[in-house]
Amino acid sequence: MEVKLIAHTPNPDFVVAAAARTCYTTLPISTLMDRLDEEQAAEYVEMLSEMGHESPIEHVSFTFAIEGVSRSLLAQITRHRIASFSVRSQRYVSEKKFDYVTPPQIADCPEAQAIYDEIIEAEREAYNKISALLLEKRLAALPEEKREDKATVAAQRKIAAEDARYVLPNACETQMVVTMNARSLKNFFRLRCCNRAQWEIRELARRMLLEVRKVSPALFRDAGPACLSGPCPEGKMSCGKMAEMRKLYGGE
C-alpha cells in the first residue's frame, strides 16, 4: 500500500480560522487573513474542535494518491459519500497481469496461502482466456479489412474486457485519487481508524491521517477513532483497547 498527500488547500488552518471568524465580524476576509498568525490560527482551529463546530472545516480539502489496495477496499471507501474518487478502470485497463492483495491472516498460514495463490492464478488465467475468446468472436463478426486495423482491434479488446472482468477477485489490486474535505476526513477517521474496522481500510485511514497531520497538525490533532475523545460507541462490541488506541493516535 502506498499513500501520498498530493494536494491540499493552502494554509488550511488560516482558511478555517478566517471562515469561522467571518460569521462574527464585519471586517473584510482579506483583513481577517492578514491579522492571523500561525499560533492564532491553530488556537482558533482547536477552539472550534472543542466546541464541536465543524462546518468551517469543510472549506479545506485534501487529495491523496492511493496505490496497492484491493477492489474490496474500494467497495468500502466509496461508501463515504462526501468525497471524490477517480479509480483505475477495469474496462479500459487490461488486468491480464493483475497484482493482488493478500490479507495478513492468509499470509500467516502457509496452507491457506497456497490455496489462495492457486485460486488467484486460476482467475487470472480465466480472465485472459475469456478476454481472448470474446475478442476473437467480436473480430470475426467484422469485415476482414477492419480486423487488421489497430484502433478497431483495441476498441474491441476493451469491449471484451468489460465482461471478462467479472471473474476478477476482490483481491485484485487497484489505484485511485481521493479528495475529501476536512470534515469528511475526520468522520472517515472516526469510523475507519477504529479497531473494529476491516484491516486494510484501517491501515489506509492510519496512513492518510499521518499525511494530513504533517500539513495541518492543529486541524487533525484530535482526529482518529471515536474513542480518542470520548467513550467507545461500539458498546458490547468494543475492542476493549481504548487506552492503547489513545496512545497510538495521540489522545489524552
Question: Catalytic residue numbers?
Answer: 192
Write the CB contacts of 148 (distance below 8 Å, at least 6 apart in sequence): none
Which grid cell sits at 93?
A: 485497463
> CA 39 to CA 22: how far, in whole Å?
18
Contact 175, 67 (CB under 8 A): yes
